[in-house]
Structure 1
Amino acid sequence: MIAAEDVVLILLAAGRSQRFGIPNKLEVPFLNKPVGLHVVTAFEAIPFRDRLVVTDGCTLDFASHGYAVVHNDDPAAGMAQSVKLGVQRAKDDGAQAVLIALADMPRVTAAHVYRMLDAADSADAVVASSDGVKPSPPALFARDRFDFLLSLDGDAGARDLVRAGRHVVTAPAELIDIDTPEDLERLQALVHDPRAAITRALTRR
């Protein structure tokens, strides 16, 4: 296993949210909290070596939750640009691994992350999440994979690496990510969020 104290959390919160529209999906309320702060709350008791959030201007106050804010000036370059910014900081910090998580996945739990840490058994470990069908974030990469991550371009470069790594299976509902207003509506219905009607009004203006 890799101890949480040796891992840098990289929370990806940059992107154009073109499929969601306005407002920024991370700022939309879900269960009385912005979508983008749910994972922050879920992970707050995990003793990571450091916490980074890569953003391109989201107004959520990640810094007050203990995150170092890394600004991505070119979110159009794809997710790999955000990954590289975070991994370079983690590498410079001497991290033994990084955990890459998405701010638009509000149902991921700390228990799942600890299971991922337990599954990481070497300096070249790759551990991804899975719903039992396909791998997804969050994903953990040990230090010997850092240089590969720093060579990525676009959005798809790490898929083969993740596919070949170890997969920790959890409930599909835990791995729902919010790309469209319809995604958020389905999640709200799943958890009986009373603000669903308000969210529909906001996202359809």
Structure 2
Amino acid sequence: MRLTRTGLLLAAGASRRFGADDKLLAMLHDRPVIAHAAEAMRKASLERRIAVIANAELRPFLSGFDVVKITSGTQSDSLIAGLKAAGVPDRLLIVLADMPLVTSELLEQVVARVSDSQPAACHDEGPPMPPACFPKNWLARLADASGDRGAGRFIRDLPASALIPARGMLADIDSLADLDRLEKQPRP
């Protein structure tokens, strides 16, 4: 039996630390930040892709995604809206739109590592982080998420066997300094 795999791109944050502009529309290597994560998800083996956004200007970069628009809120607000749209897939892959270095290969590894009883996530010399993938029987737990931690509390204690080394791909963009730093790095 083939498992159904749904990808959920969380892109509804308020970009408070970035300034007045939406960080996901900022240019990085000649493309908006959101375009990088969206492209990685389009290349990954997923039956369905959902993006949760607060800014309608992000829609043009989300071809191939079912788009759910919400009022900007916490990470858990985005997660819960995405869960409602996803239904009950066998696997739910969660990706953050402000992580432009994530590759489709990394996403494939995370999805391959999840089991029916345990999520999988990434790490890079620190605590587990998204991209993270959850089995169907964990989706009800995710629906209880609250605040800006989203799914983080569910992956922080995963054993090493459930973690994929991401080797520098987990950089996120929270500020203009982050964007400048990543712009100076070679293109992925």
TM, length-normalised to structure 2? 0.90
Q: Which moved more, 1:112-121 or 1:78-87?
A: 112-121
Distance 1:39-1:63 versus aligned 2 partners, 3 A rule: closer
2:30 corresponds in structure 1 to 32
Unaligned 5+ runs, structure 1: 194-205
1:177 corresponds in structure 2 to 172
Contact 2:7 2:41 in 1 (8 A): no
1:189 corresponds in structure 2 to 184
Tell me how many residue pairs correspond in the alignment: 185
Counterpart CA distance in 2 for 1:126 and 1:120 is 5
1:196 corresponds in structure 2 to none
The percentage of counterpart residues that share the same residue type is 29
- 1:179 partner SS: coil
TM, length-normalised to structure 1? 0.83
Unaligned 5+ runs, structure 2: none
Moved >2 Å (runs of 4+): 60-64, 156-160
2:42 corresponds in structure 1 to 44
Counterpart CA distance in 2 for 1:153 and 1:13 is 17
Q: CA deviation at 1:62?
A: 4.7
Amino acid at match of 2:6: V
Contact 1:19 1:180 in 2 (8 A): yes
1:126 pairs with 2:119: yes
Counterpart CA distance in 1 for 2:94 and 2:60 is 16
1:1-205 to 2 correspondences below 5 Å: 6-62=4-60, 65-73=63-71, 75-76=72-73, 78-91=74-87, 94-122=88-116, 124-156=117-149, 158-165=151-158, 166-172=162-168, 174-191=169-186
Q: CA deviation at 1:161?
A: 1.8
Contact 1:54 1:82 in 2 (8 A): yes
